[in-house]
Every structure is written in C-alpha cells, then in structure tokens.
Amino acid sequence: MGPMNTDVRGTVKIQSSDPHTAPAIVFNYLSTPDERRNWVDAIRKTRRLIETKAMDEYRVRERSPGKQVQTDEEILDWVARDGESA
C-alpha cells in the first residue's frame, strides 16, 4: 500500500552521450509534506482494515513495517528505508 497520486516530482537526467551510460534518476520520495502525510495515513488505514472482523481468517502477524513501528517518524523512517514505488 502507499500513495497512488502524489505531488512529488523526480528527475531523470542524461549523464553522457554514450547510450550505455545510465541516466541519473532522483525519485524525491517523501520530499513533500503531502506525500509524508499520505504515507503515514496509508499505513494507519491499512492496519485498521486488517484488524476488522472481515479479515480475521486472513490476518497473520504484521511483518513489515512491524507493530513496533508506531509514530509518524518511525513510519516515515521505514518508508525511507524499505518503501518502493509501483
């Protein structure tokens, strides 16, 4: 889970005229207040959904980010380390 419509904009820059040289890609993840808030909200809403009665038969222990990750700062640290885009 994670934000699907973000205000974050990254960059792709050509590094060389050599077509075999990879471009420089900067994703800029978590670079805006809106994106940071959306990530925290996404984690919290997913947890609430998983805790509903309808999910009882599917629920297992939370593996990632893990129940120990609770504060906004802890969630954002986890996203910065392990988050990925789709």
73-85 tens-digit pLDDT: 999 999 999 987 7
Return the pLDDT at 46.
94
pLDDT at 70: 97
b/e code 6-45 from CB counts within 10 Å (16+ = b): bebeeeeeeeeeeeeeeeeeeeebbeeeebbebbbebbee
Look at residue 4 in the predicted model and tell me its pLDDT.
Answer: 83
Query: Would you say 31 and 8 are in contact if contact means Cβ atoms under 8 Å apart?
Result: yes
Residue pLDDT, tens place only, 7-38 = 999 999 999 999 999 999 999 999 999 999 99
Q: Determine the pLDDT at residue 62.
A: 92
Assess if CATH 3.50.50.60 describes domain 11-82: no
pLDDT of residue 85: 73
Q: How far apart are CA 26 and CA 38, in angstroms?
A: 20
